[in-house]
Structure 1
Amino acid sequence: MATATTRTTWRRLKRNKGALVGISIIILAILVALFAYLLAPDGSPNANRMVVEIGGQRPGYTQQFLLLPRERKINPTSFFKRLFVGGEDKYQYIPIQSYQQKNDSLIIQQYLDEGFTERVALPLSKTKWQEGRSSGNYKIITKKFRLGTDKYGRDILSRLLVGVRVSLGVGLVTVLISLSIGVLLGALAGYFRGRTDDVIMWFINVIWSIPTLLLVFAITLVLGKGFWQVFVAIGLTMWVSVARIIRGQVLSVRELEYVEAAKALGYSHTRIILRHVLPNVMGPVMVVAASNFASAIVIEAGLSFLGVGVQPPQPSWGLMIKENYNFIITHNPMLALAPGFAIMLLVLAFNMLGNGLRDALQVKE
């Protein structure tokens, strides 16, 4: 029966073009999050390669770099470590405007700022030096920053790709926490009614009366600033809508014949709730879970913009907007608009999926 219902739901969902577009965007975002450090032009941890001389450049900016080996030895990074946390740069990136090889020296014009350069002579070893190759003392490459650089000279595209992990992570943790608390309290309130229902509903109404952002601020101040703290803080504020929906659904289901039959057979309350009640009320919960996922992404971006969410240097789309919003009214608005568009696209995808689930599951509002 459950399999047939699932197939019917999937057939309805496939007929909804908006939901399919949302699913496609979400799958793409998940793949980008998994392989972010392999896809990003800057594969360093947190995509945090700073070259302050080229800060605030426009999309499509191209720059030559002289790569100098770092003084300390950088151990090779394994594939899996690079996949999950990135690999530390073996070279120091020095922006240059031009270069030439003269006798046993490499003469470079080091780029300092727009219109400012400095002539530097670097000795060459006996090993043959070639442009764009790692043989010899130095290596010169040309890099293109497709979305420009932020005020610290970091690649916007790389930080945008790595930042997908934060947005999807906060949504996932928020949904798991909100479902765990909301389903538990809502099922208890709807099934047992009476004093249990009164106490739980009083608690729900108290939490409901506090503005979400204010409550998140309070929890964040208690837990502290950080990556996991903001995830938990947002999750602890979004269970109320789940609990209210579950309570209403359980109140109607508990009066049906099969629940009465289970009670007459002497089944425990726990078994009745877990095996007979909850499986029949999870449709609306899936819809609200998609909505909560989208809301969590927006709230995390807002918190990071205000400085109480994800902390630097970890990339977050909200934090990227905060660091570059002043460019909107100057010469390079794309530095702040790019993460804003990313937030909008991912939130839109989850909302379209939620609408598609609502229609496919025939959830009445």
Structure 2
Amino acid sequence: MASKPSKSLSNKALQRFKNNLWGVFSLSFIIICALIAIFAYAIAPDNSKNANQMHLSIHSKAPGFTVEILTVPSKNREENFFLNNFFFGISNTDSELPIESYNISEQGIEIVPYSEGELQGLTKVVPFDVFPSGLSNEAIVRTYIKEKTFILGTDKYGRDLLSRMLIGIRISFSIGFVAVFISLLVGISLGAVAGYYGGKIDAAIMWLINVTWSIPTLLLVIAITLALGKGFWQVFIAVGITMWVEVARVVRGQVLSIKEMQYVTAARALGYTNKRIILKHVLPNSLAPVIVISAANFASAILLESGLSFLGIGAQPPMPSWGAMIKDHYSYIILGKAYLAVIPGLGIMSLVMAFMLIGNALRDALDVKG
């Protein structure tokens, strides 16, 4: 009778994770958000670069607002590669005019621009010669006048809020990935060296860790950002540099206990170099808690970036950032249009909560005692 193969620790951890409902749900949500971040411009109704197509006459409209839009093509159109447009948006120089009504005349298309309240806008004429030649009047109307629905409404500049929310996911995911990558690179390297070699090297690295730890994170990020200048990449570096400390402390503690194990002693007896012992034997057995910390750091990075953007020193306009969107519209909470600030706030909250829940699920799954 054949005996059943014993399950490895990794299989047991995977099974425990699958049994965690909130962990699986959070992972699914994060995967969906990641796909949206990659294909944002293909999904967004406004696929212009940074979703920055403004319609000032229809600013701050409620979700579900519908209006007819006349697109006036630009004569200076930029031709870009398909992949560039797909991943980074179209450099759109066309003008979009919200209209209440239109009429075809001999001179062109007579339009009544959209206006608030009972005051009716003055009639304007858009001549036919601004449109491509060879099109009939009916073809021009059919091609360049469309009814557009703003599912989440418009912001205070009349931009599509849904498009800016979708593209804003990229900022959050980018800052999370880069910050976690920098923190892992620095934290694992310094923590492993400090724990393995000990002595003066350990004392020096621990002094650096304690000094960095004693400075408030947000204050340190602001100082680094101001020193490097305002901008997208500066925030990446600033947030990543401030998040390595916890990783280094955890890795150091793991290495201190693992380096006394018998298999490490055997590796030394076989004449393996310290570099090989650290990379091949010590680090692979000490990364379980680091994975959990990485999920928490991802959430912290998103919150830090949102806070910096709210303060005006994060991602700079017109780049869509959820924190900057809250900053632009938090005053609308008392004006009866709280959704302009609540929607990006819910986006931040849901993404941060997903990473915290998946971190808890990973902690439970990787717990050997469990």
TM-score by length of 2: 0.93
1:310 to 1:190, Cα distance in 2 relative to 1, 3 A: same
Contact kept in structure 2, 1:186 and 1:245, CA below 8 Å: yes
2:38 maps to amino acid = L
Q: Does 1:29 align with 2:33?
A: yes
CA drift of 1:9 comes to 1.8
CA drift of 1:122 comes to 3.4
Q: SS at the partner of 2:359?
A: helix
1:85 maps to amino acid = F
CA distance in 1, matches of 2:117, 2:153: 15
Instruction: Pick which of 4-13 and 196-205 moved more.
Output: 4-13
2:265 maps to amino acid = E
Given candidates 69, 79, 86, the residue that maps to 2:82 is 79
Query: Which position in structure 2 is the counterpart of 1:94?
Result: 97
CA distance in 2, matches of 1:38, 1:77: 15
CA distance in 2, matches of 1:57, 1:187: 54
Query: Which position in structure 2 is the counterpart of 1:306?
Result: 311
CA drift of 1:259 comes to 0.9
Given candidates 228, 239, 244, the residue that maps to 2:249 is 244
Given candidates 253, 259, 265, the residue that maps to 1:254 is 259
Instruction: Pick which of 104-113 and 9-18 moved more.
Output: 104-113
CA drift of 1:111 comes to 2.0
Given candidates 42, 56, 61, the residue that maps to 1:57 is 61
Contact kept in structure 2, 1:55 and 1:154, CA below 8 Å: yes
Instruction: Pick which of 330-339 and 233-242 moved more.
Output: 330-339
Query: Which position in structure 2 is the counterpart of 1:276?
Result: 281
Q: SS at the partner of 2:114?
A: strand
Q: SS at the partner of 1:26?
A: helix
CA drift of 1:92 comes to 0.9
CA drift of 1:77 comes to 3.7
Q: Does 1:44 align with 2:48?
A: yes
CA distance in 2, matches of 1:66, 1:118: 16
CA drift of 1:90 comes to 5.5
Instruction: Pick which of 321-330 and 24-33 moved more.
Output: 321-330
CA drift of 1:106 comes to 2.5
TM-score by length of 1: 0.94
CA distance in 1, matches of 2:173, 2:248: 23
2:47 maps to amino acid = G
- In the alignment of these two chains, the number of paired residues is 357
Given candidates 5, 8, 27, the residue that maps to 1:4 is 8
1:90 to 1:223, Cα distance in 2 relative to 1, 3 A: closer
1:313 to 1:363, Cα distance in 2 relative to 1, 3 A: farther
CA drift of 1:93 comes to 0.3
1:105 to 1:191, Cα distance in 2 relative to 1, 3 A: closer
Instruction: Pick which of 328-337 and 239-248 moved more.
Output: 328-337
Query: Which position in structure 2 is the counterpart of 1:229?
Result: 234
Given candidates 356, 359, 367, the residue that maps to 1:362 is 367
1:293 maps to amino acid = F
**What do residues 167-199 of structure 1 show as CA deviations (whole Å, max 9, x unaligned)?**
000000011000011111111111111111111
Query: Which position in structure 1 is the counterpart of 2:4?
Result: none
Q: SS at the partner of 1:118?
A: coil
CA distance in 1, matches of 2:135, 2:350: 51
Contact kept in structure 2, 1:112 and 1:118, CA below 8 Å: no
CA drift of 1:112 comes to 4.1
CA drift of 1:250 comes to 0.7
Query: Which position in structure 2 is the counterpart of 1:170?
Result: 175
Contact kept in structure 2, 1:284 and 1:363, CA below 8 Å: no
CA drift of 1:113 comes to 4.0
**What do residues 220-239 of structure 1 show as CA deviations (whole Å, max 9, x unaligned)?**
11111111110110000000
CA distance in 2, matches of 1:325, 1:264: 64
Contact kept in structure 1, 2:107 and 2:125, CA below 8 Å: no
Contact kept in structure 1, 2:14 and 2:365, CA below 8 Å: yes
CA distance in 1, matches of 2:172, 2:127: 47
CA distance in 2, matches of 1:179, 1:69: 48
Contact kept in structure 2, 1:18 and 1:353, CA below 8 Å: yes
**What do residues 127-178 of structure 1 show as CA deviations (whole Å, max 9, x unaligned)?**
42227523xxxx2111111111111111000000001111000000011000
CA distance in 2, matches of 1:259, 1:50: 63
1:240 to 1:28, Cα distance in 2 relative to 1, 3 A: same
Q: SS at the partner of 1:122?
A: strand
Contact kept in structure 2, 1:58 and 1:148, CA below 8 Å: yes
Contact kept in structure 2, 1:19 and 1:356, CA below 8 Å: yes
CA distance in 1, matches of 2:290, 2:47: 38
Given candidates 7, 17, 20, the residue that maps to 2:21 is 17
Over aligned residues, Cα RMSD in angstroms?
Answer: 1.7
1:261 to 1:89, Cα distance in 2 relative to 1, 3 A: same
CA distance in 2, matches of 1:195, 1:170: 34
Query: Which position in structure 1 is the counterpart of 2:110?
Result: 107
Gaps of 5+ in 2: 1-6
1:201 to 1:363, Cα distance in 2 relative to 1, 3 A: farther
Q: Which residues of 2 match residues 282-293 of structure 1 at below 5 A?
A: 282-293=287-298
1:186 to 1:199, Cα distance in 2 relative to 1, 3 A: same
Contact kept in structure 2, 1:111 and 1:118, CA below 8 Å: no
Q: SS at the partner of 1:150?
A: coil
